[in-house]
Structure 1
Amino acid sequence: MATILIVEDEVPIHELIKRNLQSVGHTCISVFDGRAALDKLAQNDVDLVLLDIMLPEIDGHEVFQQIRGTPTIFLTARSSLSDKVKGLTLGADDYLAKPFEMMELLARVNAVLRRTKKESKDFELDGVKVDFESRQVFLNGYPVECTPKEFDLLEVLVNNRNIALSRDKLLELAWGYDYVGDTRTVDVHIQKLRKKLDMDCRIKTVYKMGYRLEV
């Protein structure tokens, strides 16, 4: 997993981001102003910076100009097109306007880490190995045949491990926004994954909600 510097001065938002990133296995470093961000970056190797624009001491744009080369996602209340264009023109890897869902943040973090080669290309747990590049799954060294949609669902669970996901959210993330179908489809695919990968004790049912991959 990655080491991520969170530069956000709104404490409730900061803590929510930190808690969610840590729950999926990332290591987080917290600062609340631009000057402290530059100090931490001088002292630590980080894989990704989540950088608010409206910061005390030094604003996010100026901080970014001094840390070029470090993958960065701008987090900001500014949602106008001109602000987004400015952030991306400076060279930021992504831009997310507040308020945002934590699932969207985690997805964008994973995408940037993959592009910058900072995210692991595989995942292992209890004899199960998932190779994201080849889209192959192994159990105790032996290949397991998974359908494309079973793999998509497993990847969503892995990327959001330890987070409870509703059936609707799993449909959205694994099947797509335009999928027209029943949430029972999720239940069927979950049962198949549990059986194929011997993960009854890992893929937990969240009462009246959905599922969670417990790591």
Structure 2
Amino acid sequence: MIVSGLKYALECEGYIATHCENVKSSIETINSNRFDLVILDIGLPDGTGFDVAKNLTSIPIIFLTAVDDEQKIVKAFDLGAADYVTKPFRVRELLARIKRTLNQNNTERSYINIGDVKIDTDSGKVYVAENMIQLTALEYRLLLIFANQKGRLLTRTQILESIWDYEGNFVEDNTLTVYIKRLREKLGDAIKIETVRGVGYRAN
């Protein structure tokens, strides 16, 4: 009943709210979508809200729980919680806390956009619309190069000099072609990577 009422209140304020019932589904849902805020209860069927919080690196968290224990409150803030609200709670007050947390977070997070692709450089995650796109480390670095040089013609040599694999080895010319192809396949029409024959690439 609390979840239904809170979800309704959030949607009336223009938010899109997703409800997960346990630790497993929460982590899976968060990892495959983009969320601006997570509201966690401590008591969950297959664990605790702390288990979810440990898997979040850059999403603000508000704990909303009946647990009014100093040790638990301290633990929540140690895990990076932005706020801790105990039940029973007033909906309007909670909405005000949510708005404050979102406003604070929006001023701190760093995003880069290219085409319809959004790069969260704080977390290293890439989104097309609300969907997170899984990229390898090199694909992510290549995308960052294009995003930081939007519309500029980059030679293959310039790109190659900026990319190293995870062992620090220089990336070969043929490998670059493979990574460009993979980026195009994964990002689709969300980004336009233009091949300039004999020179290099331009992305928008």
Name the counterpart of 1:17.
6
| Number of aligned positions between the proteins | 107
Aligned mates of 2:67, 2:16 — CA distance in 1: 27
Name the counterpart of 2:62.
73
Name the counterpart of 1:63.
52
Q: Which segments of structure 1 move beyond 2 Å, counting only runs of 4 or more?
A: none
Name the counterpart of 2:40.
51
1:162-215 CA-partner distances (Å, limit 9, x unpaired): xxxxxxxxxxxxxxxxxxxxxxxxxxxxxxxxxxxxxxxxxxxxxxxxxxxxxx
The amino acid across from 1:69 in the alignment is S
Aligned mates of 2:64, 2:17 — CA distance in 1: 16
Q: Does 1:85 align with 2:70?
A: no
After the TM superposition, which residues 143-154 of structure 1 pair with which residues of structure 2 at under 5 Å, given as runs?
A: none
Name the counterpart of 1:106.
95
1:60-102 CA-partner distances (Å, limit 9, x unpaired): 1011001121111011111122221111111111111111010
State the SS of the aligned residue for 1:30: coil
Aligned mates of 2:57, 2:6 — CA distance in 1: 23
Aligned mates of 2:93, 2:72 — CA distance in 1: 20
Name the counterpart of 2:111.
none
Name structure 2 gaps, 5 residues minimum: 108-204
Aligned mates of 1:43, 1:79 — CA distance in 2: 32
- Which of 23, 28, 31 aligns to 1:39? It is 28
The amino acid across from 2:96 in the alignment is A
State the SS of the aligned residue for 1:95: strand
The amino acid across from 1:41 in the alignment is I
1:59 shift after superposition: 1.2
Instruction: Let me know the Cα RMSD of the aligned residues.
Output: 1.1
Larger Rg: 2
Aligned mates of 1:51, 1:101 — CA distance in 2: 16
Aligned mates of 1:57, 1:19 — CA distance in 2: 25
- Which of 13, 16, 22 aligns to 1:27? It is 16
After the TM superposition, which residues 2-13 of structure 1 pair with which residues of structure 2 at under 5 Å, given as runs?
A: 12-13=1-2
Aligned mates of 1:43, 1:114 — CA distance in 2: 23
The amino acid across from 1:85 in the alignment is V
